[in-house]
Chains A and B, each alone.
Chain A
Amino acid sequence: MNIFARLKDGLSKTRSQITSIMGGDGRFDDVFFDSLEEAMIAADIGIELATDIIDELKQDLKDCRVTSISEAYELFKAMIVKGLTVTSLPEEFPPKPWVIMVVGVNGVGKTTTIGKLAQELRAKGKTVMLGAADTFRAGAIEQLRIWSERTESDFVAQQEGADAASVAFDAIEAARARETDILILDTAGRLHTKVNLMNELEKILRVIKRNTPHAPNEILLVVDATTGQNAIKQVQVFNESVGLTGLVITKLDGTAKGGVALALTKKFNIPIRKIGVGEGIEDLQDFDPEAYVDAMFGNLG
């Protein structure tokens, strides 16, 4: 089944709009470029990047002497695919425990992503431990505990309101003692503008590093696909604060196109590690830029 089927449906309008221009005499006029720009803005790519892409496309079309619209459209899509650099999670996890820290603003789906990630790693035969360093939100610890049961992972937590860094420390110690392959740390959702909360995150990182210099091996920022241009600020601030190694784009099963992902990878050169496409335990997928761009802008051929 095509995971982007719904995304495709949502974008059929853009496609038919562009297809209808195709039927014209094939000149690259303002209507063609305007509808491309509009399609990009509607997908949350952002006006700044959209304008850049159009400028670049115009230049490329001239340089490559492209004459047909369908060729031009393929060139356009290729430009976007190129912008979405990706590497997936490594298969092997040499130093134990391999530590993955998951961060993000409130309500993007951090805990759910961790549950799905744990499921994927368990299916690969790894031992997994979940550390509940979100000690702030009501019910967060319980939510993660339920996921640990579903995925048969180990679980480390303290009480609500406990010091998050101390939970992280405990979890790493426990993972080391039990020789767990992978430890995934959940952290509380925090708006990137809250200086105190960002400081807390840095403290967690410091505590981890002091005791286990190789950790965390991955720091993943979870971004909601429905987020608009604010995502750029989120990545910027979180990256400056803790140094991100990857992005997870969640909730791509709605009609949101997550176009801001393009702005993120282009601007920060941080790869998209995973995408979330549903509520099921197995709905965490590897990111395939070509399939994604095809779904976003369709095939004219």
Chain B
Amino acid sequence: MFEELTNRFESIFKKLRGRGKLNEDNIAEAVRDVKRALLEADVNYRVVKKFSATVQEKALGSDILKSITPGQQFVKVVYDELSKLMGGAARQIKLHTNKLNVIVVAGLQGSGKTTACSKLSLYFRKSGHRPMLVACDTYRAAAIDQLETLGKSLGVPVYSDRNSKPVAIAKDAIAKAKADDISLLIIDTAGRLHIDNDMMAELKQICELAAPEEIFFVADAMTGQDAVTVAEQFHKEINFTGVILTKLDGDARGGASLSILDVAGVPVQFVGVGEKPDALELFHPERMASRILGMGDIVSLVERAQETVDFEDSKKLERKIRKNIFTLQDFLDQLRQIKKMGSLSDLLSMIPGVGKHMQDAEVDNNALGKIEAIICSMTKVERDKPLIIDGSRKRRIATGSGTTVQDVNKLLKQFDTMKTMMKRMNKIAGKRGQAAALRNLSPF
């Protein structure tokens, strides 16, 4: 997410940090670079103009020129303005617990509404809601089939009626939801152009009839300068309450996320970060600003870990490491937990300072899969006592996991090194405490 922008900002700041003192020309140049970086990221040019004017003014007005760390000060000004531009702290969605909630999802064609609907249903089901999806896109060929298929695969009920008009479908769906004890209705509408008056009127009618708790406007992260025009028009007609920014898992620079709030006054609420149904995340503007500026996002990383890692398990693991009875089976469990947290490249991008080192190295997300396959091809005894794995066992394991004997050797070697390191850590820890041991092991 936003890697390109991050890289650009990093090189701008590097230029500044190298200087002991800044003058007005340095700042003007940096502001010009920031402006260019934002324009290349498809941030709306009017927003960019305003943004760079504010940054320049604040930078000159503050004590940056006199400061002993002027570069840092400048970064802080940009960070503050950037997180303000994106909307400050994230807004938590509050839904009723005692009555039917309705969410309407709208946007241009191909922005990813139907996928977003199914992701939303899963997101809210996790917090205890009983969702139902409503197929109100009666225009695009097979749109209803698409929602029905998605609903079936997630086990979420879908309301559809191939012989009705969208407004009537929404009305019937509400009645059905009330009868079926549904707590959340998610209405998928047809993609429409903001300049298509008839279609916009229909959408307005659906919104008036359904009186939704939330109306989400779905926008493609790759959209260019027109993103704000479209958002502005939709907002004028239906007054949406949040934005879902989709396809952020590509290399889109996501300029829309920086522009829509400024123009429509509504922040990005969710971001779509993958094709899987759970790839929908709450958007944290402050954290994102920090990520864009190359400062990482430790808060999200820790949260992600807390969500997926079992506290009891990790206690048990710590004991095993201490007693040096860590086996390949434990290693496998660990790997699986990391995998649950998301892709490696995604996790790494949250660590401060990693961004710029990662851009050339393609992280091999499949490497974990390979290791998993190898360990899974071992017997239980082999996992506990890797020493018994001889040539013939290695051949069997390689065949079973679709790898080579070299791969198996490599894994066993790695595991061995890991155990030696743990042993050493335990020894030092005994004397000086674990923190010191970790410091000693760190290659930095």
Contacts and interface: CB of A to CB of B under 8 A. Distances in A.
Instruction: Please report whether the interface of chain B is mostly helix, strand, loop or mixed according to DSSP.
Output: loop
A186 interface: no
Interface string A266-281: 0000000000000100
B203 to A, nearest CB: 16
B367 interface: no
Given A42-B45, A228-B42, A254-B194, A107 B110 contact: yes
A294 B77 CA distance: 42
Contact of A230 (B45, B108, B140, B252): B252
A105 B140 contact: no
B250 A229 contact: no
A6 B226 CA distance: 14
A253 B193 contact: yes
Contact of A107 (B41, B109, B147, B227): B109
B42 A229 contact: yes
A193 B223 contact: no
Interface in B349-382: 362
Contacts of A108: 110
Interface centre among A44, A107, A256 (most CB of B within 10 A): A107
A47 to B, nearest CB: 4
Contacts of B302: none
B224 interface: yes
B226 A143 contact: no
A160 B251 CA distance: 28
B247 interface: yes
Interface in B275-329: none
B229 interface: yes
Interface in A233-255: 233, 251, 253-255
Nearest to B362: A195
Contacts of A231: 222
B40 interface: yes
A233 B40 CA distance: 12
B271 interface: no
A48 interface: yes
A230 B42 contact: yes
B377 to A, nearest CB: 23
B235 interface: no
Size class of the B contact interface (CB-based, 8 Å): 35 or more
Contacts of A193: 249-251
B401 to A, nearest CB: 19
Nearest to B252: A230
Interface in B200-250: 220, 222-227, 229-230, 247, 249-250
A140 interface: yes
Contacts of B150: 138
B26 interface: no
Contacts of B194: 254-255
A143 B45 contact: no
Contacts of B143: 139, 143
Interface in A265-301: 279
A44 B225 contact: yes
Given A47-B36, A109-B109, A254-B230, A226 B220 contact: yes
B90 interface: no
Q: 3 smallest A-B Cβ distances: which pairs?
A: A228-B224, A139-B146, A107-B110
9 contacts: A6-B195, A143-B143, A147-B141, A160-B149, A226-B223, A227-B220, A228-B223, A230-B250, A230-B253
Interface of A: 6, 10, 38, 41-44, 46-48, 105-109, 111, 115, 137-140, 142-143, 145-147, 160, 191-195, 224, 226-231, 233, 251, 253-257, 259-260, 279
Given A191-B249, A193-B251, A253-B193, 7 more contacts: A47-B39, A143-B143, A194-B250, A228-B255, A233-B251, A255-B230, A259-B224
Interface of B: 36, 39-42, 45, 108-112, 139-150, 153, 193-195, 220, 222-227, 229-230, 247, 249-253, 255, 362
